């Protein structure tokens, strides 16, 4: 399926290549460079590019293009999903996935890639298994290896590969047994000029960090499972029990993983926690425009809105902006025309605002559209959909684990049209 993989950085250099079948010349990437040139931005490079003898499927993450070379028909999502899994694995192994990191750990990267695919077909993609085959580099292990001459490579087949729970490694031991669950909800919304909601929906995930000894069997139940409109699970979740009882029952992987993602549909009324008052105007005659925005809390259930960042892509005609924020800091990049204002916390008594003027290029006419405002924010200890975890039980092991649940609401793609 997947013939070869090329990693290309922002400057257009191929800094890593890996072939699973016979070698494909790197000149095949020239077609990719062509496409890259045609698309003005990296984001606009098409994920599927046909060439006379091959097909190039790519994903763009962490400023790196991961380009897979395919020779014949294959479900494109298969390859794309796999490439994303590769990036996730690198991130898991090295903490960050960057060109420098990959170059520094090129041998581990190569060994991992070797295990992930055989003849272009995925072999081991669970990070729990990969980590048993090839141990991630740590400072301690590097030191130990140099002294004792031991290696990073496991010589036994990870038992997970064969068991019914391939995602969990065996022989897990902890002195402190703990299981943390983060319920994180993101609000995607489009708010129109007048402040009314055009569309709003909630996308939630439950991320878990489970460090439990042995083979624990967990169940997690909700107070109000009916809220969840559409869900997708980590393979460890027993689907039948969810269907019949709306309970999440699973033997967790070891470490960090995403247990569940869910969707609360647009049909339910979504509480919008913030509002934006804006007054942005350009005048035809003068080369100055007015700019004024105020951010305030709306339906926050008594919680503080923090981590607020306002960004806006200003029209090309704007040369510079002279602004004064009532709090926080702001930056305007005259090249990319991106305005970004780091607001911080919203104090309901004293609403943060950003006021000032814009200078426009002389001679150009006024832009026909006002810029869209993108909002980021965080609210701790609140799941905006009202989802509540009822209880978490553990079976199969004797000890008493420490359990923790955290809720958080964030802005997803939150846009205000002006």
Partner 1 sequence: TLQRCLPLPTLRGEWQSGLVGSRCPGKVSPTGWISVLHFTVNEDLKQMLESSKDSAKLDAMKRIVGMIAKGKNASELFPAVVKNVASKNIEIKKLVYVYLMRYAEEQQDLALLSISTFQRALKDPNQLIRASALRVLSSIRVPIIVPIMMLAIKEASSDLSPYVRKNAAHAIQKLYSLDPEQKEMLIEVIEKLLRDRSTLVAGSVVMAFEEVCPDRIDLIHKNYRKLCNLLIDVEEWGQVVIIHMLTRYARTQFVSPWKDLFHENNFYESDEEQKEKDQKVKDTYSMDPDHRLLLRNTKPLLQSRNAAVVMAVSQLYWHLAPKSEASVVSKSLVRLLRSNREVQYIVLQNIATMSIQRKDMFEPHLKSFYVRSTDPTMIKTLKLEILTNLANEANISTLLREFQTYVKSQDKQFAAATIQAIGRCATNITEVTDTCLNGLVCLLSNRDEIVVAESVVVIKKLLQTQPAHHGEIIKHMAKLLDNITVPVARASILWLIGEYCERVPKIAPDVLRKTAKSFTDEDDLVKLQILNLGAKLYLTNSKQTKLLTQYVLNLGKYDQSYDIRDRTRFIRQLIVPNEKSGALSKYAKKIFLAQKPAPLLESPFKGRDHFQLGTLSHTLNSQATGYLELSDWPEVAPDPSVRNVEIAESAKEWTGILGKPKKEKPTEKFYSESEEEEDESAGTNSSGRYLESILHLHCLENCIFRTDLCLNKIEKVTKKSRAVYKIRKSEAKVYVTTQVSVPAKTHELLHRMSGKGLAAHYHFSRQPGIFGDHMVSVQVTVTNTTDHKIENIHIKEKKLPPGMRMHEFSPIECLEPAGSITVSVGIDFCDSTQIASFQLCTKDDCFSVSIQPPVGELLLPVTMSEKDFKKEQAFIPRLCLNILSVPNPRLL
Q: Which is closer to partner 1, CB of 345 or CB of 417?
A: 417
| Shortest Å, Cβ 250 to partner 1 | 10
Distance CA 385, CA 187 (A): 9
**What stretches of 265-305 adopt beta strand conformation (E)?**
274-282, 288-297
> Which H/E stretch holds residue 339?
strand 338-344
| Shortest Å, Cβ 387 to partner 1 | 16
Structure token pair of residue 153: 């490579």
Q: Which is closer to partner 1, CB of 237 or CB of 297?
A: 237
Q: Which is closer to partner 1, CB of 202 or CB of 354?
A: 202
Contacts of 93 (CB under 8 A, 6+ apart): 105, 108, 112, 127, 131, 136, 137
| Shortest Å, Cβ 348 to partner 1 | 28
| Shortest Å, Cβ 58 to partner 1 | 7
| Shortest Å, Cβ 12 to partner 1 | 6
| Shortest Å, Cβ 164 to partner 1 | 7
**What stretches of 11-54 adopt beta strand conformation (E)?**
14-19, 48-50
Contact 258, 250 (CB under 8 A): no
Distance CA 124, CA 93 (A): 15
Closest CA to 325 of 359, 353, 294, 291: 353
DSSP label at residue 374: E
| Shortest Å, Cβ 304 to partner 1 | 26
Q: Which is closer to partner 1, CB of 297 or CB of 401?
A: 401
DSSP label at residue 71: -
Closest CA to 93 of 77, 65, 115, 120: 115
Q: Which is closer to partner 1, CB of 297 or CB of 341?
A: 341
Give backbone dihedrals phi and psi of 386, rounded to 5 degrees, phi first: 90, 5
| Shortest Å, Cβ 176 to partner 1 | 22
Q: Which is closer to partner 1, CB of 87 or CB of 408?
A: 87
The torsion defined by the Cα of 205, 210, 215 and 217, in degrees rounded to 10, comes to -40
Q: Which is closer to partner 1, CB of 251 or CB of 379?
A: 251
| Shortest Å, Cβ 221 to partner 1 | 11
| Beta strands 402-416 and 178-191, pairing class | parallel
> Which H/E stretch holds residue 31?
helix 29-38
Distance CA 296, CA 278 (A): 11
Q: Which is closer to partner 1, CB of 235 or CB of 348?
A: 235
| Shortest Å, Cβ 349 to partner 1 | 32
Structure token pair of residue 285: 């005659």
SS (H, E, C) 88-143: HHHHHHHCCCCHHHHHHCHHHHHHHHHHHEECCEECCCCHHHHHHHECCCCHHHHH
Q: Which is closer to partner 1, CB of 199 or CB of 286?
A: 199
Q: Which is closer to partner 1, CB of 234 or CB of 403?
A: 234
């Amino acid at each position: 399926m997947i013939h070869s993989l090329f990693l290309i950085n922002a400057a257009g250099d191929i800094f890593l290549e890996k072939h699973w079948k016979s070698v494909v010349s790197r000149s095949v990437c020239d077609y990719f460079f062509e496409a890259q040139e045609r698309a003005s931005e990296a984001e606009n490079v098409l994920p599927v590019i046909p060439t006379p003898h091959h097909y190039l499927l790519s994903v763009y993450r962490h400023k790196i293009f991961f380009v897979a070379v395919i020779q014949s028909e294959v479900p494109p999502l298969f390859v794309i999903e796999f490439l994303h899994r590769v990036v996730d694995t690198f991130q898991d192994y090295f903490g960050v996935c960057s060109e420098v990191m990959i170059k520094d750990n090129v041998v581990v990267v190569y060994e991992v890639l070797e295990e992930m695919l055989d003849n272009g077909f995925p072999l081991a993609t669970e990070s729990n298994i990969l980590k048993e085959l090839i141990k991630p580099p740590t400072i301690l292990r590097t030191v130990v290896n140099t002294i004792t001459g031991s290696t990073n490579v496991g010589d036994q087949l990870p038992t997970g590969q064969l068991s019914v729970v391939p995602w969990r490694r065996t022989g897990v031991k902890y002195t402190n047994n703990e299981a943390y669950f983060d319920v994180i909800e993101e609000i995607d919304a489009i708010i129109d000029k007048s402040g009314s909601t055009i569309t709003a929906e909630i996308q939630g995930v439950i991320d878990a960090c489970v460090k439990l000894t042995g083979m624990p069997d967990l169940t997690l139940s909700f107070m109000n499972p009916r809220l969840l409109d559409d869900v997708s699970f980590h393979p460890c979740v027993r689907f039948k029990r969810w269907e019949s009882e709306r309970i999440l029952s699973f033997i967790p992987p070891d470490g960090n993983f995403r247990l569940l993602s869910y969707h609360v549909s647009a049909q339910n009324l979504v509480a919008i926690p913030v509002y934006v008052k804006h007054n942005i105007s350009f005048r035809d005659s003068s080369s100055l425009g007015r700019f004024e925005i105020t951010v305030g809390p709306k339906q926050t259930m008594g919680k503080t809105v923090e981590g607020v960042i306002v960004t806006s892509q200003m029209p090309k005609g704007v040369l510079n902006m002279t602004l004064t924020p009532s709090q926080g800091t702001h930056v305007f990049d005259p090249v990319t025309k991106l305005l970004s204002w780091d607001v911080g916390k919203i104090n309901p008594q004293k609403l943060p605002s950003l006021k000032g003027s814009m200078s426009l290029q002389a001679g150009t006419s006024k832009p026909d559209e006002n810029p869209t405002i993108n909002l980021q924010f965080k609210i701790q200890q609140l799941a905006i959909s009202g989802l509540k975890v009822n209880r978490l039980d553990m079976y199969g092991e004797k000890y008493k684990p420490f359990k923790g649940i955290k809720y958080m609401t964030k802005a997803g793609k939150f846009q205000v049209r002006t």
